[in-house]
Amino acid sequence: MKYKFDYLVFIGRFQPFHLAHMQTIKIALQQSQQVILALGSAQQERNIKNPFLASEREEMILSNFSEADQKRIKFVHVIDVYNDEKWQKLVKLLVAGLAELNAKVGLIGHFKDESSYYLRLFPEWEMVELDSLEDALSATPMREAYYRGEIQQDKFPQGTIDFLENFQKTPMYQQLSEKFAQNDKTNLV
């Protein structure tokens, strides 16, 4: 099969990995030999915005794909640097570490809102711009529901549901859930 790209880069935090993310990767796999997921906020400390480590997100994501597709999905871990120029250089450096010299690299994504401006930071990569997928799912309300004990089954692929159910049984989930509840009360005051 002839693909338009050697690599398509999909940047996200995937906290957690939901159906719109999965749809995006499926589209990327149709157009590219390999997909590189740039996992944002890949530092080691957890917080209520970023509850899952990069290695856990890799496991969560891959659990939703066939063995053949898993072999075509690669990961780079992008730490937060809070400087667009440094962050852009870091993403390009990490991708260059996986892609062969002269490989055709593209970027896939959706301009959801002003937070999607980062997609414009890579003009040298051809953009595969997607329309809103899965009714513009946002992970923030899904995380909030999760901390209240609810896994919104209609918004996640099965591998993610299994991962979230298992994570709910950990002391770390308990800590994050309690911290979320405290923040929720503080924000109400």
Taking only the tens place, the pLDDT of each residue in 40-89 is 999 989 999 999 999 999 999 999 999 999 999 999 999 999 999 999 99
Instruction: Examine the pLDDT at 107 and tell me if it is beyond 50.
Output: yes
Instruction: Examine the pLDDT at 156 and tell me if it is beyond 80.
Output: yes
User: Residue 108 and residue 46: Cα distance in Å, rounded?
Assistant: 27
Share of the chain above pLDDT 70, in %: 95
User: What are the phi and psi torsion angles at 116 (to 5°)?
Assistant: -90, 10
Judge whether 167 and 63 are in contact, CB under 8 Å. Answer: no
- Element (H or E) spanning 74, and its range? strand 73-77
User: Residue 80 and residue 87: Cα distance in Å, rounded?
Assistant: 7
User: Residue 3 and residue 36: Cα distance in Å, rounded?
Assistant: 15
Instruction: Examine the pLDDT at 163 and tell me if it is beyond 90.
Output: yes
pTM: 0.93
Strand partners, 38: 11, 76
pLDDT band at 189 (very low <50, low <70, confident <90, very high): very low
